[in-house]
Amino acid sequence: MLSKLKNFFKSKIRKSYAPIDPDEIFLDSQNLPEFNRDQFEGRIEKPITRHVFSVLAFVLVLVGLIFIGKVWALQVLHGDIMKTKSDNNSLHNVTIFADRGLITDRNGVPLVWNTLNPTSSEFSLRQYATSTGLSTLLGYVKYPTKDSSGFYYQEKFVPKDGLEKIYDSDLSGVDGSKITETDVKGNITSESVVHPPQDGKNLTLSIDARVQKKLYDSMLDIAQRAGFRGGAGMIMDVHTGEIIASATFPEFSSQVLTDGSDSKQINAWLSDSNKPFLNRAINGLYTPGSIVKPFIAMGVLDQKVISPTTQILSTGSISVPNPYDKTKPSIFNDWRANGWVDLEHAIAVSSDVYFYEVGGGFESQKGIGINNIEKYTRMFGFGSTTEINFPGEQDGVIPDPAWKASTFKGEMWRVGDTYNTTIGQYGFQVTPVQALRAVAALANGGNLLVPTFLKTDSKNNPPKISGTVGLDPSYFKIVKDGMRLCVTEGTCTAMNLPFVDVAGKSGTAQLGVSKDLVNSWIVGFWPAENPHYAFAVVMERASKTNQFGAALVMQNLFNWMGIYGTEWLK
């Protein structure tokens, strides 16, 4: 029996274990199979122990208990408090206002800048340089506005007029945003920026702040002495078209309109018949008077109706017979008896009789006629805009037969109309910026520049030329010499200064039927031999008996330059 049991267990043991192959017996480090040991091939896997599962289970249970505890605390223990806080707090998407770009003069002097808002509002306040005559040029802005509940219904700066409006896309920048949480009292409990603001780009003008202010102050000084009711003055680089100064008066205050608090002053400006919101330098139309004579002279030279050295006698007037009544001739007066004058001296002393005869003809002297008067004045840019980047620029008027027929119900053109047009009267209308561009074209040899208020870059932003006056260079020299003679011994001697050679032409335009009021003009350029800058100033509506004119404005400016701004006299 015992032997049977032994045999039984031996058979069970044999069945439990598979037979051992010879390869397994002799497997050692010398005959390993081709396993990639770096990939763990040929290694025996070791099972994860029960200890690891126990630790993991403990962690999960612990996290679950913490979560349940937190939920219980929020919902049960502090539920009422959390509910009240949730009901009272609110989230708001708030605009972060970008600062508008600065506007500076050509030397970096701020003309418009930003300051911190003392009321802690979300936007900066706009600040403007004062007493410079630049308000109509710069314009103003309206601030973002809240309703009675404290919410913004106007979330942008709104530019109003001037460069603020023209270059708003550059100046305005891009507003940012943030999310704020406030309690029931409106107190901010938390906030986070979503999109940061991008401030606007700065704008560098061609204006020189010091020259600008001095020109403006000089205009006001002469206005107070002589009773002028308005005026405009401009200075331009004759090679680049850069406007160095552009002053106009009367004017509003950009600061007052932007702040919007002085309603009494604002209403006074709105009702002022002197039009303080008019940018007279660009949008004002004026009878030019004798400042057109140099341009008529260019036509006279080109048409060769008279030799430049031939003299005409001015005894103080010419008389044109009346074909309908010989006892009532038409008299056309000179402003004084100027004696014998050639073309250069006719410009210098501003002889009306000379220009009557060479413009409209008289007795044996042939004139260039109204069609050529229009041709040559248009050639220098009168009667059309200068293309300056500023809204509201006027074309102006050059009288001709068609204009008269349209304006005066079919009336025919007469020789007297030609005479008056030749000396810049009758229906002639120009803007100061037109006069400036025209005299600059005389100075630079015929290039009609597009004026600009931005500082130019010869490489990236070269000067723009809208046209060229293709006349003989010798004509330019004769006319420029006549304008220099005007300063040394003619009607512009107020600008005859020892430290700078100026060439100029004055003009006095009579206004109204009674002609009791006049506009006073001065145009010109400097240095006379190698011009770099041109100027045009008009002083508006003063008594014809006053002894102060626009030439004194430039005299004051040149005297200032001789001491404080010598770099501008080169």
Specify whether the CB–CB gap between 561 and 532 falls below 8 A: no
Single out the residue in 162, 188, 204 at which a domain terminates: 204
* Host H or E run for residue 181: strand 176-182
Listing DSSP states for 91-159 in one string gives EEEEEEPPPPPPEE-TTS-EEEEEE--TT--SSPEEEE--SSS-HHHH-EEE--EE-TTS-EEE-S-EE
Say yes or no: 250 and 393 in one domain. yes
Say yes or no: 396 and 533 in one domain. yes
Q: How many beta carbons lie within 10 A of that of residue 13, not counting itself?
A: 9
- pLDDT score at 296: 98
Selection from 383, 393, 384 nearest residue 427 by Cα: 383
Phi, psi of 542 (to 5 degrees): -125, 170
Say yes or no: 194 and 226 in one domain. no
Q: Are strands 188-195 and 176-182 parallel, antiparallel or unpaired?
A: antiparallel
Q: Is there a domain that residue 58 lies in?
A: no
- pLDDT score at 153: 78
Please report which residue ranges of 336-430 form alpha helices under DSSP H: 343-349, 352-360, 369-379, 401-407, 415-422
Q: Is there a domain that residue 87 lies in?
A: no
Say yes or no: 279 and 423 in one domain. yes
Give me 521's structure tokens.
């003009």
Say yes or no: 437 and 513 in one domain. yes
In the chain, the N- to C-terminal Cα span, in Å, equals 140
Say yes or no: 219 and 317 in one domain. yes
Q: What residues are paired with 112 via a beta bridge? A: 103, 128
What span, in angstroms and rounded, lies between the C-alpha atoms of 293 and 359?
10
Single out the residue in 180, 204, 228 at which a domain terminates: 204
Taking every pair of Cα atoms in the chain, the longest distance, rounded to a whole number of angstroms, is 180
Phi, psi of 497 (to 5 degrees): -120, 150
- pLDDT score at 189: 63
Q: Is there a domain that residue 7 lies in?
A: no
Q: Is there a domain that residue 80 lies in?
A: no
Selection from 225, 223, 270, 279 nearest residue 247 by Cα: 279
- pLDDT score at 544: 85
Say yes or no: 254 and 114 in one domain. no
What span, in angstroms and rounded, lies between the C-alpha atoms of 133 and 230?
12
* Residue located via tokens 């025996």: 44
Sign of CA dihedral 403, 408, 414, 417: negative
CATH number at residue 541: 3.40.710.10
Single out the residue in 204, 238, 258 at which a domain terminates: 204
What span, in angstroms and rounded, lies between the C-alpha atoms of 551 and 483?
13
Q: Is there a domain that residue 224 lies in?
A: yes
- pLDDT score at 78: 60
**How many domains does the structure of the chain reveal?**
2
Specify whether the CB–CB gap between 210 and 565 falls below 8 A: yes
What span, in angstroms and rounded, lies between the C-alpha atoms of 40 and 47?
15
Give me 395's structure tokens.
């074309």
Q: Is there a domain that residue 65 lies in?
A: no
Say yes or no: 314 and 454 in one domain. yes
Q: Is there a domain that residue 437 lies in?
A: yes
Which residues, 6+ apart, have CB-to-CB distance to 346 below 8 Å? Answer: 293, 297, 312, 338, 354, 355, 482
Q: Domain of residue 178: give its range.
A: 92-204
pLDDT tens string, the chain, 570 residues long: the values are 555 545 554 555 455 555 555 555 554 555 555 555 555 555 556 677 777 778 778 878 888 888 787 766 656 666 555 555 555 556 667 788 899 999 999 999 999 999 998 878 789 999 999 888 999 999 999 998 888 777 777 888 999 999 999 999 999 999 888 777 666 556 666 666 678 889 999 999 999 999 999 999 999 999 999 999 999 999 999 999 999 999 999 999 999 999 998 999 999 999 999 999 999 999 999 999 999 999 999 999 999 999 999 999 999 999 998 887 888 899 999 999 999 999 999 999 999 999 999 999 999 999 999 999 999 999 999 999 999 999 999 999 999 999 999 999 999 999 999 999 999 999 999 999 999 999 999 999 999 999 999 998 877 778 899 999 999 999 999 999 999 999 999 999 999 999 999 999 999 998 877 778 999 999 999 999 999 999 999 999 998 888 889 999 999 999 999 999 999 998
Listing DSSP states for 507-538 in one string gives EEEEETTT--EEEEEEEEEESSSS--EEEEEE
DSSP state of 477: H
Say yes or no: 427 and 470 in one domain. yes
CATH number at residue 132: 3.90.1310.10
- pLDDT score at 512: 74
Say yes or no: 213 and 198 in one domain. no
- pLDDT score at 53: 72
What span, in angstroms and rounded, lies between the C-alpha atoms of 241 and 437?
8
Q: What distance lies between CA 183 and its chain's CA centroid?
A: 45
Q: Is there a domain that residue 333 lies in?
A: yes
Say yes or no: 115 and 147 in one domain. yes
Say yes or no: 183 and 227 in one domain. no
Buried/exposed 438-451: b ≥16 CB within 10 Å, e otherwise: bbbbbbbebbbbbb
Write down how long the chain is: 570
